[in-house]
Amino acid sequence: MELRIPAADDLHIHLRNDERTLAAVKAVREGGACRVLAMPNTSPALATGEDATKYRHYLVMQGADFDILTTIKLMPTTTPEMITEAARLGVSAGKQYPLGVTTNSEDGVSDFRAMYPVYEAMAQSDMVLSLHGEVPGAFVMDAETEFLDELHRIHRAFPKLRIVLEHITTQAAVEAVRSLPDNVVATITDHHLDITLDDVIGSTIQPHHFCKPVAKRPSDRKALNEVVREGHPSFFSGTDSAPHLIADKENACGCAGIFNAPYHMQFLATHFDALEMLPRLADFTSKFGAEFYRLPPSGEEIMLIKRDVLVPNTYDGIVPFKAGQTLTYDLAWI
């Protein structure tokens, strides 16, 4: 069996700015994506439009042969003027991390209302607000659900602002986004369609399944898969692929992040086929997100081929998602 579909838009990916970047960049096309939204929580952070422009150039110099949409990091020091300038330079989104909830978020936001002038500038510039939706200091299993009240408040205050609630993990988040207009959407990762907390801290500790937000309950995973099966246009793919070196994952204080980009479409085809929802794949990976970000069709296509492919145990010093397991779909570029 072969399935010809548009190449993927990965609208949430971490490409780093260090020794991991070469692997992260190479993985994009190997996983079937031709266009990405690159996250700004590098070190140092991408705080301005100029930073984002330089980062795009850096990625191209590292071998990126795909379209790169840029972001800036929203921090307490971000001003409306910085938003206006970033928009002028073509930045697609401003990404807000709550203080201390994930990798490189020590300069994140704790006072959301203090950011309202920034949100207003984003609405006026038609820049997307990208939200890591967790409340700082909340119990980890409840942090996303507790953030949903804030999502509703931001939308009420700025009804025309385009908002993405990133990498949702809960049934409550699905229901919240469903209840809002179509300018408030959500991304869903490969791994949150597949794993639950048991796969992280069940019978053994699995550090390569540790991510933020953490995987949740089976009922939450079911809700994510059901909304994708439904083909709801407010929910689309973003891998949140986040490479960490093995030594940074397998230690007493391991980093959060799953590296799923190298076998992104191979995994999703396998997963969607197993759940008998393969006809929904192209919309999820290549249509709904592009429409939200107002992107033209990429014009690139891949062929998904029904044949076994073994995911290696390591990929350039990084453990990929599904390492050592066999997927039932491979891909070729057309």
- In the three-class reduction of DSSP (H, G, I as helix; E, B as strand; rest coil), residue 3 is classed as strand
Exposed e or buried b per residue across 73-106, where buried means at least 16 C-beta atoms within 10 angstroms of its C-beta? bbbeebeeebbbbbbebebbbbbbbbbebbbbbe
Q: Would the annotation count 14 as a binding residue?
A: yes
297 cis-preceded (ω within 30 degrees of 0): no
Residue 271 to residue 328: CA distance in whole angstroms: 9
Q: Would the annotation count 160 as a binding residue?
A: no
Contacts of 164 (CB under 8 A, 6+ apart): 11, 93, 128, 129, 130, 131, 185, 186, 187, 292
Q: Would the annotation count 271 as a binding residue?
A: no
Active site residue 240: yes
Q: Would the annotation count 232 as a binding residue?
A: no
Q: Would the annotation count 16 as a binding residue?
A: yes
DSSP output for 63-122: T--SEEE-EEEE-TT--HHHHHHHHHTT--EEEE-BTTSSTT-TT-BS-SGGGHHHHHHH
Q: Would the annotation count 155 as a binding residue?
A: no
The catalytic position among 10, 194, 220, 240 is: 240
Q: Would the annotation count 256 as a binding residue?
A: yes
**Catalytic residue ranges:** 240
**Binding-site residues from annotation for substrate:** 14-16, 41, 132, 244, 256
**Binding-site residues from annotation for Zn(2+):** 12, 14, 95, 132, 167, 240
**Binding-site residues from annotation:** 12, 14-16, 41, 95, 132, 167, 240, 244, 256
